[in-house]
Chains A and B, each alone.
Chain A
Amino acid sequence: MTSKPLAISLQALAAILGGYLLASASTLFLSAILPLSKTEAVITASLFSFVVYPIAIIWVYARQDVKRAWLGMVVPSVILIAIAWLLSKGLS
């Protein structure tokens, strides 16, 4: 078992950094799939990240499990970024 201050820091980092990662990934993903003009898709996706980010933070603290919290942030982010990347390769 890790020490308490370390666990608290890891959880906070999962919320702040992991949350930002997930918000950015959702932005990349949405801007790639939204059937809008390029600027419109980018603006919509970027604004939506401010909904994703707070919810991600709430989720991390609702879990109360640092390992799961990190996984919950990183795994979906990687998947979303990968899809966005593949779409951009395929379309251009």
Chain B
Amino acid sequence: MQSTEKTPFRQAMSALHTWGSLIAGWMLFVIFVTGSIGVFDEPVSHWMQPERASILSTMDYDPDSATDRQAAVGKAQAYLQQVEPNGHLWFATLPDLEDPAIKLFWQDADENPHQAKLHPDSGEILPASMDRGTEGGHHFVHMHFELHSGTLGIWIVGFFTLLMLVALISGVIIHRRIFKDFFTFRARKGQRSWLDAHNASGVLTLPFQLMIAFTGLAVFVSVYMPAAIFAHYNSPEAFFAEVFERPAPREMTHEAAPVANLGQMFAKAEQAMGKPGQFIRVEHPGDSSATFTVFGLFDAEALQGRLVLPSSGMAEFDAVSSQQRHIEAPGAEPQGAAFRTQRAMRTLHFANFGGYTVRWLYFLLGMTGAVMIASGSILFMVKRRQRALNEFGNATPRVYRTVDVLNVAAISGLLIACVGYLWINRLLPLEVAGRAGRAGWEVGLFFALWAITLLHSALRPVNQAWREQLLGFAALCLLLPFVNAFTVGEHLLTYLTERNWRAAGVELTIISFGLLALKALQKLRRKAAANKSQTASVKIEQAGVRG
């Protein structure tokens, strides 16, 4: 892009970079922003669940008591036995001091997912006054890796991640002054500034961007590249059983058999592992092939700094006869260099190996990646607004307009939808058309809000659309603390006096994003005033080209 004389190879790479990234940019921006917010899924969930504190302060349940844990397993079984005695899968997470509910997840016989939360003491469904139906911060994580659309979404994200790798490689090839321009940013130079911003944000964080794209693919290696697995194994499950050195899942026999007392098996499992259990799983309950698995408590604090995580412990039983089938001692290391490498890549991608230090680092670098992507997409149009290149003949103005509309909706529109999601969390009534539906409503309204920003950007001239959406985003960010105070009575002062650092961190971060948006808006306004006469002349020129 920099030099005037180009070899055919560089020219080809330049075209690949420009057009490939244009197509990938919108989706990649979504993946990067939601992924960066997703590293803080736990604090965001915490902010979105103000009612949790009331359970914590009143409950008798003690996560450190083996009897309480065993009783909680019994409550989970009692509920699931009644609701879905012959499901495909039961799964439960035991209460802890962060999330004090017994969280149930199950699949019915047709493998449709369901979930519910039980009170740790009574074992009854939590009322809305104690538990706001919400996906919390997980919503961003799900947007990030599957766009809320299951396996298809995982494939779509994977495809765009591949394009990201291609864009990074082709970008490095066409950028020949990497070291000379290392610290170069020329402000207030129009197209030049956008190019500098794009290059600098990409080059300076290149190791992170390459790592995050590659490890993102590596996390789902068995989904994206199953050829060798299918060539050497009967099923992916058989492959995983061998990799993890665990017994292969049993086929259903279709002979009815009741699930034995899970609480007693759970106590045996804890004894065998020598540590508390945290998750339980029953595969095809009600069938004589049913298995019961207990997974040990995951202690992130103790594993800080380790990329290859050892096992948290696991014990598996025949769920009908209560016979132990398999035990995996806590602390067991994954074996084999390749498997360890894949596990390390997973840890690297999930950013959970060093507490908040690593999370903040990933957030900053991920957002810089988002800046690289957004500035690239904007640069595409800035360049063509200076001088139309007419790549599409008569259709060129229409294509440019589409790019503009999508740029606004994908960049500022997504930001609006993300902070709007937190508004929805506070404003949507606690009880809406059935308890299970509230979390779904929140996500649905998130998409609705995003669709409105697309409509808005399609109806308004592009410069106005940018300014209005940025203003909207800034307003949503800066007014959120007031909405929070009026709806649930929490605000920065209460957070600080209660030492609720996570909620305070969420609000302060959002406020600083609001201030950044105001700053950007101010710049846009100043530029618009200065460029008014210039744009008029460009318009005449474009009209001439069209005519």
Contacts and interface: CB of A to CB of B under 8 A. Distances in A.
A46 B336 contact: no
A3 B191 CA distance: 33
Contacts of B225: 23-24, 27, 46, 49-50
Contacts of B165: 50, 54
A64 B243 contact: no
B166 interface: yes
B436 to A, nearest CB: 38
Given A54-B166, A61-B12, A61-B16, A46 B239 contact: no
A40 B335 CA distance: 9
Contact of B338 (A47, A55, A62): A47
Chain A binding surface, main DSSP class: helix
A62 B13 contact: yes
A58 interface: yes
B228 A28 contact: yes
Given A53-B162, A57-B166, A42 B13 contact: no
Nearest to B227: A24
Contact of B231 (A36, A49, A88): A88
B166 A43 contact: no
Contacts of B226: 46
Contacts of B15: 61
Interface string A26-49: 011011100011111111111101
A87 B87 CA distance: 43
Contacts of A64: 8, 12
A66 interface: no
B169 A54 contact: yes
Contact of B243 (A39, A44, A49, A58): A39
Interface string B224-235: 111111011100
Interface stretch (B126-134, B213-221, B438-446): B213-221
Contacts of A31: 228, 231-232
Interface string B380-422: 0000000000000000000000000000000000000000000
B166 A58 contact: yes
Contacts of B222: 46
Query: On chain B, which size bracket covers the interface?
Result: 35 or more
B13 A43 contact: no
A72 B342 CA distance: 30
A40 B342 CA distance: 10
Interface string B1-31: 0000000110011011000000000000000
B130 to A, nearest CB: 45
**Interface magnitude class on chain A:** 20 to 34
Contacts of B229: 42, 46
A62 B169 CA distance: 13
A38 B232 contact: yes
B162 A28 contact: no
Given A37-B336, A38-B242, A88-B231, A43 B16 contact: no
A58 B16 contact: yes
A43 B338 contact: yes
Given A39-B239, A53-B162, A46 B13 contact: no
B337 A40 contact: yes
A36 B227 contact: no
B338 A28 contact: no
Nearest to A38: B232
Interface in B26-68: none
A49, A53, A58, A88: residue with the most chain B Cβ atoms closer than 10 Å? A58
Nearest to B214: A50
B170 interface: yes
B221 A43 contact: yes
A84 interface: yes
A80 B338 CA distance: 22
Contacts of B337: 40
A30, A53, A55, most chain B CB atoms within 10 A: A53
B501 interface: no
B482 interface: no
A61 B337 CA distance: 34
Interface in B337-371: 337-339, 341-342, 345
Contacts of B218: 47, 50
A15 B338 CA distance: 28
Contacts of B9: 62
A62 B229 CA distance: 31
Interface of B: 8-9, 12-13, 15-16, 162, 165-166, 169-170, 173, 214, 217-218, 221-222, 224-229, 231-233, 239, 242-243, 336-339, 341-342, 345
15 contacts: A24-B227, A27-B227, A28-B227, A40-B338, A42-B239, A43-B221, A46-B229, A47-B221, A47-B338, A47-B342, A47-B345, A50-B224, A54-B169, A58-B13, A58-B16
Interface of A: 23-25, 27-28, 30-32, 36-47, 49-50, 53-55, 57-58, 61-62, 64, 84, 88
The 7 closest A-B pairs by CB, nearest first: A31-B228, A43-B338, A24-B227, A44-B338, A61-B16, A54-B165, A40-B338
